[in-house]
Amino acid sequence: MEALLSSMGSKCPFLVRSSVSTLRTLAAQAPAGAAAAESGLAKVAGSCPVMSKALDAKKRAMHTSAPAHSAYPLQGFPAHPAKEAPLAPTHTPAAAAPAAAHNVAGTSTAGRPFDYDGFFNEQLEKKKKDKSYRYFNNINRLAQAYPTAHTGTGDNVTVWCANDYLGMSRHPVVTEAMKSAVDMYGTGAGGTRNIAGNAALHLRLEHALADLHGCDGALVFSSCFVANDATLCTLASKMPGTHIFSDASNHASMIQGIRNSRAAKHVFRHNDVAHLEELLQKVPIEAPKIIAFESVYSMCGSIGPTKEIIALAKKYNALTFLDEVHAVGMYGARGAGVAEYQDLMSEIDIFTGTLGKAFGVVGGYIAGSAKLVDMVRSYAPGFIFTTSLPPPVVAAALSSVEYLKESTLERSGQQLNVRDLKARLRDVGIPVVPNPSHIVPVMVGDAELAKRVSDDLLRDHAIYVQSINSPTVAVGEERLRITPTPGHTPPMMDHLVDSLLHLWRKHNLKFEKDWELAPRANVGTGLVVDQLVKMEDLAIPEHFEQARANNQPMLIH
């Protein structure tokens, strides 16, 4: 206020005669609950021939009605362009003072409550219209009849798309561990890891996971979605000026963690190390960097160029963040994943994995250096503020991890069936996205048709294979995602292939040769990809071949 008097005192007779204390007293003189415009100072200003005009103009501006259609609607709400050209925006953000509200149909709702259900319904109709709406089938997998399930109507179907890749969810070693833990510790953890939820079982599981990946430490989360989100967000937000380099096909959990971190993000084309290096070159060497990628990409089955990415990380001083969710349990001598199979584990900074797929239980984890893991433990809200996994779940996961460190039978059986099914589909021209992993993506190329084929398989052929549509895969690359397990038999494969052939002809779908004019996801290019796991690396016992010859499952527990 002293500065105001100094600059304006010579121009205003009132200010010349008034002290600072007088002005402050007048400014404070307003009835309780009254607006600032009703203060004593405002009343004096109203008598001034100059200030009175300015105050009148301000009042008129404040009470002028807003146009019926805002040219600057709230972000996330339907936009309705005004019929007349909008005025240039003022310095006041439109979101702070929207001109008018609208309901989802586009009509004015001034004075009426927002139509929540109408808005929700509009969003759902959008997804139904573009065929991305998700329908959940009622599938109840039967432990004693793996890989069979019953539907909501009680009909039995063969499941060909589960992520219980090795059938460990029903292995006696796993189920007995869970039952024993229920009897000993009950069903719940009792709290967060900080409050009553940190048991000896949790510590043993983390020690086993650290050992699996050859790391100093590991940390268990409620899921690997949470592990990816929490770890990337924590690391990138805590390290000042972090840049994250993310593969274009990374899982939504990694994308979410990167987004939540608000760090600088650079997306490189899927498995394109040349593009990755081009982006790395633009960032100063002293800036913290994380390269986030996956070992097995679950919807296309491709495998990340781990060795090449490690080399770039060393060259440009970056941390490597490797998601092994669709590889742990299935690759490597002890089931640690693709990095183990390729003898690259010691070169990776951060592993993430799941306990809910090949290990057959639920949960996620990270593994890395002791300091890195402890920092995430100490700062990640997704770890700190959630109830820890129940002891029976942890006991079952621990038993599964330790069992698969020793047993190679499940991995070998899976690889044999994957090779067999891919060969059968190739022989009859069913279009499979070429890849070196255990995933068998069958290309359809249309969202509505993909769902129709999935429905027909379930209803008419007692086969459950879920259709995969946008945004999980690109529009025009909709597919069926098939995952053979050690429990599938040759007759089951015969039935699956015959059923697909029937439906491909029924719906006039494209065979492999039909994709040659306009290839998608390497379908129609003639590309042949060898399996990552070589036959000579598989430990195939004699009884496997005997079981297959007798049309029996290779593993019976």
CA distance 360 to 171: 9
Helical ranges in 166-323 per DSSP H: 172-185, 200-213, 224-238, 252-261, 273-280, 306-315
CA distance 5 to 17: 10
CA distance 280 to 317: 10
By three-state DSSP, how is residue 38 classified? helix
Burial of 1 (0-12, 13-18, 19+ CB in 10 A): exposed
**CB contact at 8 A, 473 and 145:** no
Q: Which two tokens stand for residue 415?
A: 């690889």
**CB contact at 8 A, 329 and 166:** yes
Q: Which two tokens stand for residue 492?
A: 């089951």
CA distance 529 to 515: 17
State phi, psi for 473 to the nearest 5 degrees. Answer: -125, 165
Max intra-chain CA distance, the chain = 109
Q: Which two tokens stand for residue 158?
A: 């063969």
Packing angle, helices 447-461 and 490-506, rounded to 10: 130
Beta bridge partners of 246: 267, 292
Give yes or no: 53 in active site: no
**Could you tell me which of 298, 402, 399, 291 has the C-alpha nearest to residue 349?**
291
8 phi-psi bin (left φ>0, alpha ψ -120 to 50, beta other): alpha
One of 126, 127, 357, 451 is an active-site residue; which one?
A: 357
Catalytic residues: 357
